[in-house]
Amino acid sequence: MPLSAIAFETESTPADAPAITQQSVATLSNIAKHYGTTKALDGLNLTLRPGEIVALLGPNGAGKTTAIKILLGLIAPTSGAARVFGSNPREAITRTRVGAMLQVARILETLRVREHLDLFRSYYPNPLPVADILRTAQLQGLEDRPFSQLSGGQKQRVLFALALCGNPDLIFLDEPTVGLDIESRRALWHQIRTLAAQGKTILFTTHYLEEADALANRIIVINKGRVISEGTPAEIKRIGGSRTIRCRTRLTKEFLETLPTVTQVQRHEHSVQISASHAEAVVREMLLLDETLTNLEITSPALEDAFLALTQS
């Protein structure tokens, strides 16, 4: 990804800041939301710019869904200000330009896909044509199926389709791919990218790190109701640090631990796993000392590791 490569080199510049100045589509400023003594959100700040795909990443209970609900005006913050298209999201009029996919157990099971769309389209002043919705959500051929007779992936796509009915400029997707198989998940990613290419702004929550990595221009990591890190997927990964080397070698654990930049060595039955920030230097040394070394493999830190490093600190 060239954009993240640039950000990687010039680390002083903020994450993929576009050259042109853009107005924000939605902002949360210093939002707190308390349920009794529990702080769901604790001084959360968030800005969405036009046309970007932003991932709100965090463990369960981090406050992701609460943040989305405040942006949708479904709940009021205890303190702080929420603005969507310059208005208060609690005002119904703001919702005509917003689409939402929430975590819904089920929707009316006996209604057909076409009927669900017909009803939701009627709520909006300028709805998207049914054919466009069906195509974008890949529901062609399923129009006359009752919701109850759809597979899990198809049901999720119907919920996605409902979010598109009003031809919104801003779309919130709360855990959009939860429970989907990998194929359906990738298909939905493709559809989300298509929407962003049309200039729509998308905020989605996920605890699938792979999803945030693959889909988002920008990741906002939140935990315990606060933003703990923000940046491109590449930037977030770098925070996680070292790379991992796996191989079969005669070299002992004790010796490997003395090599430069090695932070951790784990010996399994047939292989060792070494964590080091300068993997090349370590591997060069190992190859020199052990000509029997086989099955060499070097992997970059998964976003998962970065994420764990961030949220556990």
Helix (H, G, I), strand (E, B) or coil at 10: coil
Q: Which of residues 169-208 bind another protein (CB under 8 A)?
A: 169, 198-199, 201
Give CA separation, 272 vs 218, 246, 269, 278, in Å: 34, 6, 8, 17
Number of residues this chain uses to bind another protein (CB under 8 A):
49
Provide φ and ψ at 20, rounded to 5°. -80, 145
Does residue 78 touch another protein according to CB under 8 A? no
Nearer to another protein by Cβ, of 58 and 73: the residue is 73
Q: Which tokens hold the place of 185?
A: 């998940």
Look up tokens 């606060």; give the residue. 226
Does residue 106 touch another protein according to CB under 8 A? yes
Does residue 294 touch another protein according to CB under 8 A? no
Q: Is 309 in contact with 238 (CB distance < 8 Å)?
A: no
Nearer to another protein by Cβ, of 1 and 107: the residue is 107
Q: Select from 115-123, 175-183, 233-241, 291-299 the region that touches another protein (CB under 8 A).
A: 115-123
CA distance 270 to 285: 20
Nearer to another protein by Cβ, of 126 and 313: the residue is 126
Distance of closest approach, residue 98 Cβ to another protein, in angstroms: 8
Query: E strands within 58-198?
Result: 79-84, 98-101, 170-174
Distance of closest approach, residue 207 Cβ to another protein, in angstroms: 18
Does residue 17 touch another protein according to CB under 8 A? no
Q: In 127-274, which residue ranges form alpha helices assigned H by DSSP?
A: 130-136, 152-164, 182-197, 209-215, 233-240, 253-256
Distance of closest approach, residue 299 Cβ to another protein, in angstroms: 39
CA distance 67 to 80: 12
Q: Which residues contact another protein by CB under 8 A?
A: 22-25, 35, 50-51, 72-75, 85-87, 92-98, 100, 102-108, 110-111, 115, 118-120, 122-126, 146, 159, 162, 165-166, 169, 198-199, 201
